Amino acid sequence: MLEKYLDFVFKYPKSILAILSLITVYFFIASANLSEDNNPYFLPKDHPARSTIFDLRDEFTGTYDSVMIALHNEDTVFNQASINAIFDLSRAAERMNYVDETDAQMLQDLKADHPENSELVASIDEILADGMTPSDGLIARELLNRAVEWQLTTKQLRNLSVFAERVDPVREMAGLSSTENVFLDEYGTMFAQETVNKRNQDIEFVKNAVIDNELIEYGPISPDGKVALIVVELSILEDDATGQVRAYEAFKQLVADYQIAHPELKDDIYISGVPVFFAAQKQVIDHDFATLLPIVLLLITIILAVFFKTILGVIIPLINVVMCTIWTMGMMAVVNAPLDVITAILPVFLLTICLSDAIHVMAEYYHQKKIVKSRLVAIRSAMILMASPVVLTTITTCLTFIVSTSSSIESLRNFGLFISFGMFVALIISLLLIPALLALFPKKDIFKQQHAQSSSDVSKKYFISRLLVSALTPVMANRKMFTVIFIGLFIGSGFLASKVRVDDMGSGYFPKQSDFRISDDFINNHIAGTSPGWIEVDTGKDNGALTVEISHFIDRLEQHIHQHETVNYSYSLARYVRRINYTLNDFNPEYNRLPEDVERFIEIDEDTQEPYEITISGSDIIRQSILMFENSGGSDVTNVLSEDFSKTVLLYTLGTTVANDYQAFLDHTLPWIEANKPDGVTITHAGSPIIWTAVLDALVKSQTVSASIALLTVLLVMMAWFRSIRLGLAGTLPLLSTVMIYFALMTLLNIELNIGTAIISFLVLGIVDYSVHYILRIQHEIKNGFTINHALVNAMRVSGRAIIANVLVFSIGFIALLFSQHQALIDLGALVGLSLLISGLVTLFVITLFAPWFFKDQLNASQSSKTMAVMNEART
């Protein structure tokens, strides 16, 4: 079979190369359509942790992610320049949109695709007529509503959704010039309006309206009056990476232009918020991969050159991995799988990991060439020897990746699926490309004909081989002692592995001096935090939220959450009602509270001038407070009340982006709600804390369940392949040990398990190359009649050398990630290189250590065959 395949490849090398090239060109062209999904949450939209916020958006305003602009003045922001800046920036931000000529082109293309649809054409013409402005948002949304009726394609629908939000992105604003304040002027007139609603607003007026005002403090302004915040809620789709980056750039430009135009403004200005976080992350990752990919290529080129010392030894494996990378990216585009935060690192992984097969084949080829001194014969021998192990290792690795990433996290699933695809096509390409390419240059071998040497003689010359033999000989000589050491190491690693910290550091992954990190830290430390969350209370009854019981519950809940150190700011129905109650009672401190069930007052009868007591229901006070607010110009009540007043929502912001802080906050809050919520109400949570803790929860589950399944898969495949339980264990035990050591190292180095570092454990489980090649070589040597230690030494000399080359490629290839600007990628680079290095060393150590037990059956068989041979010889 193998011989026939090799005959075919040697007969048609040019055709094979042409076909491979054509397929590569096809996927290269296809990869231009690769879509992006900047969804940073890793969970699908319909996951309960994410979908709740979409439901809340149907009911409440103030529920979109926000860009925050903080103005900091060393003395006070109560100065004319700062107050004017707040007004001007707010008005400018309100009118922003994030479309450009590419969006216009998209609309033109859509029009060209449907020339017969006069309504569509007319609407698009209307949008494009006077330039694309926020007023076109309604037209775009109307087009979306008709998309199904007009049978637009999924891609056109997606483009229109993206456009509708980019062209009219601002949903709500907050700040001194946007948040509706409730206050009295000196004549007792009640205002429910923006505090700064015009340029050159009187500073004393502003001060009086915001000081000691719970609707404003910690939100639009810090208690010390040195920081003011403008909040711009954007409805840009969470997975619209380009839109978010454009928004971030537009805000930076807005602020920079304003500072130049208004030199009187001395404030420092910081920009942060959830969309900015995603945009900054996207920018860093894009920048990294534009610069890191060439570094990866350069590093693996150097390693290949050092290792093989020939041009073909460098070029062939490089062509192999570049091809498989293009095929994989192209396939992602073909099946419409997006490039997200996780799959964006696929090219680096593919370039390094997919080298494995080519390295093993090429190493064997050069080894054989030194023995047989003929390129064609050498490649034939190498392919015959290597086809079986590379197929086994690749299939096992692919299976393991797919199984181990079958968690609830879609990004990981896609990563597992496409890295498996990449490895599989790398195998196919290497099985075709290497012999076909080598077959094109057979004549050169004539000049190098020398005396043939034995395999053993050749391998003895390798430096790495000699080094390995020296290092592992003590293990073979002192198995008992090293067994004790291994058991100690295994138990110790297991213990440390159980202590690994699961977390996500959010903005902490950015360099401390990056603009984004500085801004994020500033806002989190000085004013409302950048991580929003919402708690919805649904009474199930019209007007049910406007009761004394619910408002008191919300008030106590708000007080409770503020006991947690991460909570910077919140607003709620209780705040509005208390503030209005206080205001309408002329700031009598006695009324700076929520109404009780029944309020009693003494009135004077106008006719008799006699005092009399009246009672008023607290719920009537609440309902009339809200009515008063609405009638006085306030519309922000939709931030806390649904339109039928059956539901109310409490918004809070946390001054952290660390997932474990989110978990601590939820641990503080959820039990309290469970113990204190009124009968009959339903509580729903949404926002950053819920999403990120759900991501971590899914991650932990996928780590424990998927890792176990993956180990079992490897064990079963190995046992089936080798037809031996012992050899199955020989293949699996090094992987298990490596995973233990990997997690133990993470604990020791205080590196958290996050979605990035989790990939590595799957990788470690999937990379079975080391053990398979080592085991097969040992088996081969045993079959040749060598004793176990002799077989081990021979295997170390041949396979050990290829393993070390693999380890070096993997480790050094990922070193490129250490040059990243993103701490998560730096950690990933360090850990992946380290873990694959550990995997290679542990494989050599563990199999060498327990070889007499692992290969007991093979040794017995070999002994039997020897005995039989001796007996046969004796008989003869």
Partner 1 sequence: MKLTCFLASMSIVFSAATYAEDADKILQQVRDRNDGKDYLSTVTLRTLSEDSVLNQRQFYMLQKDIEKDEVMVLAIKAPADVRDISFLMRSFEEGTAQEDEQWMYLPAFRKVRRISATDKRGAFMGSEYSYYDLDKLRVTDFDSKVIKTDMLDGVETYVIEREPKSQDVINKSGYYKLVTWVDKQRKLILKQQYYDAKGILFKQLDIDKVEKVQDIWTITASTMSNFVENKKSTFLFHETLYNQGVDDAIFRKSKLKRGIKDSDVAELTKISEL
Q: Which of 601, 608, 613, 872 binds partner 1 (CB under 8 A)?
A: 601
The residue among 261 and 614 lying less far from partner 1, judged by its C-beta, is 614
The residue among 330 and 634 lying less far from partner 1, judged by its C-beta, is 634
- Return d(Cα 771, Cα 736) in angstroms, integer: 12
- Return d(Cα 342, Cα 756) in angstroms, integer: 7
- Return d(Cα 800, Cα 806) in angstroms, integer: 10
Q: Stretches 132-140, 684-692, 703-711, 738-746: which one binds partner 1 (CB under 8 A)? A: 132-140
Q: Could you say whether residue 95 binds partner 1 (CB under 8 A)?
A: yes
Q: Stretches 408-416, 614-622, 719-727, 778-786: which one binds partner 1 (CB under 8 A)? A: 614-622
661 by Cβ neighbours in 10 Å (0-12 / 13-18 / 19+) ranks as buried
Shortest Cβ 118–partner 1 spacing (Å): 22
The residue among 39 and 547 lying less far from partner 1, judged by its C-beta, is 547
Shortest Cβ 185–partner 1 spacing (Å): 8
The residue among 584 and 804 lying less far from partner 1, judged by its C-beta, is 584
Q: Could you say whether residue 185 binds partner 1 (CB under 8 A)?
A: yes
List the one residue out of 41, 42, 50, 39 whose CA is nearest residue 684.
50
Q: Stretches 226-234, 410-418, 448-456, 615-623: which one binds partner 1 (CB under 8 A)? A: 615-623
- If DSSP states are collapsed to H, E and C, what string results for 618-678? HHHHHHHHHHHHHHCCCCHHHHCECCCCCEEEEEEEECCCCHHHHHHHHHHHHHHHHHHCC
Q: Stretches 184-192, 420-428, 488-496, 565-573: which one binds partner 1 (CB under 8 A)? A: 184-192
Helical segments of 506-637, H only: 515-526, 548-561, 573-584, 618-631
Q: Stretches 37-45, 219-227, 621-629, 721-729: which one binds partner 1 (CB under 8 A)? A: 621-629
Q: Could you say whether residue 435 binds partner 1 (CB under 8 A)?
A: no
Q: What does the buried/exposed string (b/e) look like for 286-309 if buried means 16 or more CB atoms within 10 Å of the residue's CB?
A: eebbeebeebbbebbeebbeebbe
List the one residue out of 31, 740, 619, 51 whose CA is nearest residue 325.
31
Extract the runs of DSSP E, i.e. beta strands, from 51-189. Answer: 66-72, 170-174, 180-184
Give the other-Cβ count within 10 Å of 436's Cβ: 22
Shortest Cβ 144–partner 1 spacing (Å): 14
Binding residues among 632-671 for partner 1 as defined by CB under 8 A: 632-635, 643-644
Q: Which of 55, 603, 720, 748 binds partner 1 (CB under 8 A)?
A: 603
Q: Stretches 6-14, 203-211, 625-633, 671-679: which one binds partner 1 (CB under 8 A)? A: 625-633
| Cα-based angle 101, 102, 108 (whole degrees, multiple of 5) | 90
Q: Could you say whether residue 138 binds partner 1 (CB under 8 A)?
A: yes
- CA dihedral (464, 467, 473, 479) in degrees, to 10, reads -80
The number of angstroms, rounded, from the C-alpha of 74 to the middle of its chain's C-alpha atoms is: 37
The residue among 35 and 617 lying less far from partner 1, judged by its C-beta, is 617
- Return d(Cα 553, Cα 159) in angstroms, integer: 44
Backbone φ and ψ for 47, nearest 5 degrees, come out as: -65, 135
Q: Could you say whether residue 55 binds partner 1 (CB under 8 A)?
A: no
Q: Stretches 220-228, 524-532, 620-628, 797-805: which one binds partner 1 (CB under 8 A)? A: 620-628
Q: Stretches 131-139, 283-291, 558-566, 756-764: which one binds partner 1 (CB under 8 A)? A: 131-139
Asked if 641 and 188 count as a contact pair (C-beta separation under 8 A), the reply is no
The residue among 176 and 768 lying less far from partner 1, judged by its C-beta, is 176
The amino acid present at 32, given as its one-letter code, is: A
Binding residues among 504-563 for partner 1 as defined by CB under 8 A: 543
Q: Could you say whether residue 590 binds partner 1 (CB under 8 A)?
A: no
Beta strand 268-273 pairing with 170-174? unpaired
Q: Which of 15, 470, 585, 704 binds partner 1 (CB under 8 A)?
A: 585
Q: Which of 17, 23, 34, 190 binds partner 1 (CB under 8 A)?
A: 190
Structure tokens at 270: 């910081």
Residues in the chain: 876
Total binding residues for partner 1 by CB under 8 A?
Answer: 46
Shortest Cβ 193–partner 1 spacing (Å): 4
- List the x/- string, 196-215, binding to partner 1 by CB under 8 A: -xxx----------------
Q: Which of 103, 165, 168, 267 binds partner 1 (CB under 8 A)?
A: 168
- Return d(Cα 647, Cα 544) in angstroms, integer: 7
Q: Could you say whether residue 619 binds partner 1 (CB under 8 A)?
A: yes
Binding residues among 290-329 for partner 1 as defined by CB under 8 A: none
How much helix, strand and coil, in percent to the nearest 5, is found in the chain? 65, 10, 25
Shortest Cβ 625–partner 1 spacing (Å): 8
Q: Could you say whether residue 611 binds partner 1 (CB under 8 A)?
A: no
The residue among 191 and 569 lying less far from partner 1, judged by its C-beta, is 191
Q: Which residues bind partner 1 (CB under 8 A)?
A: 91, 94-95, 133-135, 137-138, 168, 170, 185, 187-194, 197-199, 543, 584-585, 601, 603, 614, 616-617, 619-621, 623-625, 627-628, 630-635, 643-644
